[in-house]
Amino acid sequence: MNILTELAQIGNRLDPKGAISFPIYHSSTFAHPGFGESTGFDYSRTNNPTRQVLEDAIARLEEGTKGFAFSSGMGAITTILTLFSHGDHIIVTEDLYGGTYRILEEVFNRFGLQVSFADTSNLEAIEKEILPHTKAIFTETPTNPMMKIADLHGIARLCQKHGLLDIVDNTFLTPYLQKPLLCGADIVVHSGTKYLGGHNDIISGLVVVKGEKLATRFGRLQNSLGATLGPQDSWLMIRGLKTLALRMKAQEENALQIAQWLLNHPKVTEVYYPGLKNHPSHATQLNQAKGFGAMLSFRVKDSSLIPRILKSLEIISYAESLGGVESLITYPATQTHADIPLEVRARLGIDDCLLRLSVGIEAAEDLIRDLESALR
Ligand SMILES: *Cc1c(COP(=O)(O)O)cnc(C)c1O
């Protein structure tokens, strides 16, 4: 089935009373029909009918075995990290979501999980970090905020060769544009807060795993840790997902126009967007995804311009987060990536001239006019 149809129909034809919009089951617990019997639902941390519609939908969209919904992207990532034990080692993309960096360096390190950060756009750099006790590669692509692209097929081959779990954070592109499980990954994770929810109104996380064995093991962790998504927010996610394709397409078209416009602006020294032909991984991206998404970063000539730009934008909001219908601009150095040490940020290029833009569904001409007057 075409993904447009798949998305629009999420939750339809499942309700015995014929509701087109699947109902919100606000119940913490479910009665058993008789001794030793179950309707399939016992207690809402374990499973809830509304959440299950969402979990089944994301599993179908990512073409995996089973989906899991969490109260945040970090709740999802935390649960994934509990697959590992004291003394295990994992390799993680070096310029990654700041919260993922923080949980590894401040929390899981205390439980003995060892981490190496690598430039995952370079297969040799990844392979160099593999140790006898390495258990997984955790990849973000495109990276945040430098928009580097990892070769997902190449990483899957590395994981197969060394017996590693292949985990991909697919938040920036969504299954509308990229399906990591089809490139060989074992686990896909999303901050559902971003494109999947799409309206800057919910915090959520989603995971899809491949294979029954991993699905069972991961389901037990989801239930044990308990960072599950409530029925109301599950319903909002379902509602958001129905328009994912339309939003993504509009946002991507806007992003390309804005990237090209920024490229020619005299106060902009660099534009990072995989949809630009001069992006070093433009071809890799075309080989593994249907598009480039709507996240871009750019560098201005002088950091003294930043306060004025952020203050004078009238449509694009100066706010953390991304992926929603409203355009947002972020200053990674003090916002999303503040927890990454200064010297690491400097090496990665996350300096005080860098801005990150999440392009929304507004008219591109209005967004460009907004940027134009802020940069004047
Ligand atoms: C936002 C984000 C997360 C964390 O998700 P929350 O929903 O904010 O907990 C993880 N990975 C990426 C790439 C993100 O953008």
pLDDT digits (tens, 9 = 90+) for 188-243: 999 999 999 999 999 999 999 999 999 999 999 999 999 999 999 999 999 999 99
Run of H or E residues at 187: strand 187-191
User: Is a pLDDT exceeding 90 seen at residue 73?
Assistant: yes
Position 338 confidence tier, pLDDT thresholds 50, 70, 90: confident
**CA of 197 relative to ligand 1 center, distance in Å:** 12
Top mutation candidate among 97, 100, 102, 340 for ligand 1, by most atoms within 8 Å of CB = 97
Closest atom, ligand 1, to C-alpha of 192: 7
Top mutation candidate among 72, 178, 191 for ligand 1, by most atoms within 8 Å of CB = 191
For position 161, what pLDDT does the model report? 98
> What is the phi/psi pair of residue 118, to 5°?
-135, 155
Question: Ligand 1: does its nearest atom lie under 6 Å from the Cβ of 71?
Answer: no
Count CB atoms within 10 A of the CB of residue 165: 19
Q: Report the distance separating Cα 121 and Cα 126, nearest Å.
A: 9
Position 272 confidence tier, pLDDT thresholds 50, 70, 90: very high
In this prediction, residues 246-274 reach a mean pLDDT of 98
**CA of 128 relative to ligand 1 center, distance in Å:** 27
For position 90, what pLDDT does the model report? 98
User: Is a pLDDT exceeding 90 seen at residue 81?
Assistant: yes
For position 336, what pLDDT does the model report? 84
Token pair 């999980």 is at which residue? 113
Position 340 confidence tier, pLDDT thresholds 50, 70, 90: confident
Top mutation candidate among 74, 78, 101 for ligand 1, by most atoms within 8 Å of CB = 74
**CA of 44 relative to ligand 1 center, distance in Å:** 24
User: Is a pLDDT exceeding 90 seen at residue 302?
Assistant: yes
Q: Report the distance separating Cα 204 and Cα 230, nearest Å.
A: 9
**CA of 228 relative to ligand 1 center, distance in Å:** 15
For position 19, what pLDDT does the model report? 98
What would the pLDDT profile of 277-301 be if each residue is shown by its tens digit?
999 999 999 999 999 999 999 999 9
For position 107, what pLDDT does the model report? 98
- List active site positions: 45, 97, 169, 194
Question: Ligand 1: does its nearest atom lie under 6 Å from the Cβ of 119?
Answer: no
Question: Ligand 1: does its nearest atom lie under 6 Å from the Cβ of 141?
Answer: no
For position 168, what pLDDT does the model report? 98
For position 372, what pLDDT does the model report? 98
Strand order in the sheet with 187-191: 66-70, 205-209, 187-191, 165-169, 134-140, 89-93, 114-118
Range with the poorest average pLDDT among 110-114, 128-132, 260-264, 349-353: 349-353
Position 67 confidence tier, pLDDT thresholds 50, 70, 90: very high
| Percent of all residues in the chain with a pLDDT value above 90, rounded to a whole number | 95
**CA of 101 relative to ligand 1 center, distance in Å:** 11
In this prediction, residues 52-75 reach a mean pLDDT of 98
Task: Please tell me the residue having the least CA distance from ligand 1 atom 1.
Answer: 191
For position 232, what pLDDT does the model report? 98
Q: Give Rg (Cα) of the chain.
A: 21
The mean pLDDT of the chain is: 97
For position 80, what pLDDT does the model report? 98
Count CB atoms within 10 A of the CB of residue 367: 22
Question: Ligand 1: does its nearest atom lie under 6 Å from the Cβ of 200?
Answer: no
Question: Ligand 1: does its nearest atom lie under 6 Å from the Cβ of 324?
Answer: no
Q: Report the distance separating Cα 235 and Cα 197, nearest Å.
A: 10
What would the pLDDT profile of 83-132 be if each residue is shown by its tens digit?
999 999 999 999 889 999 999 999 999 999 999 999 999 999 999 999 99
For position 290, what pLDDT does the model report? 98
Question: Ligand 1: does its nearest atom lie under 6 Å from the Cβ of 336?
Answer: no
**CA of 74 relative to ligand 1 center, distance in Å:** 6
Question: Ligand 1: does its nearest atom lie under 6 Å from the Cβ of 120?
Answer: no
Question: Ligand 1: does its nearest atom lie under 6 Å from the Cβ of 74?
Answer: yes
Query: What's the per-residue H, E or C state across the chain?
Result: CCHHHHHHCCCCCCCCCCCCCCCCCCCCECCCCCCCCCCCCCECCCCCHHHHHHHHHHHHHHCCCEEEEECCHHHHHHHHHCCCCCCCEEEEECCCCHHHHHHHHHHHHHHCCEEEEECCCCHHHHHHCCCCCEEEEEEECCCCCCCCCCCHHHHHHHHHHHCCEEEEECCCCHHHHCCHHHHCCCEEEEECCCCCCCCCCCCCEEEEECCHHHHHHHHHHHHHHCCECCHHHHHHHHHHHCCHHHHHHHHHHHHHHHHHHHHCCCCEEEEECCCCCCCCCHHHHHHHCCCCCCEEEEEECCHHHHHHHHHHCCCCEECCCCCCCCCEEECCCCCCCCCCCHHHHHHHCCCCCEEEEECCCCCHHHHHHHHHHHHC
In this prediction, residues 243-260 reach a mean pLDDT of 98
Question: Ligand 1: does its nearest atom lie under 6 Å from the Cβ of 95?
Answer: no
For position 335, what pLDDT does the model report? 87
Question: Ligand 1: does its nearest atom lie under 6 Å from the Cβ of 50?
Answer: no
What would the pLDDT profile of 41-59 be if each residue is shown by its tens digit?
999 999 999 999 999 999 9
Question: Ligand 1: does its nearest atom lie under 6 Å from the Cβ of 205?
Answer: yes
Closest atom, ligand 1, to C-alpha of 322: 15
**CA of 73 relative to ligand 1 center, distance in Å:** 5
B/e letters for 143-164, b = 16+ CB within 10 Å, e = fewer, are: bbbbbbbbbbebbbebbeeeeb
132 contacts: CB under 8 Å, gap ≥ 6: none
For position 341, what pLDDT does the model report? 87
Bigger pLDDT: 227 vs 336: 227
* Domains, the chain, ordered by start: 3-241 (3.40.640.10), 245-375 (3.90.1150.10)
Q: Report the distance separating Cα 292 and Cα 277, nearest Å.
A: 11
User: Is a pLDDT exceeding 90 seen at residue 311?
Assistant: yes
Cβ atoms of residues 273 and 296 within 8 Å:
yes
| Percent of all residues in the chain with a pLDDT value above 70, rounded to a whole number | 100
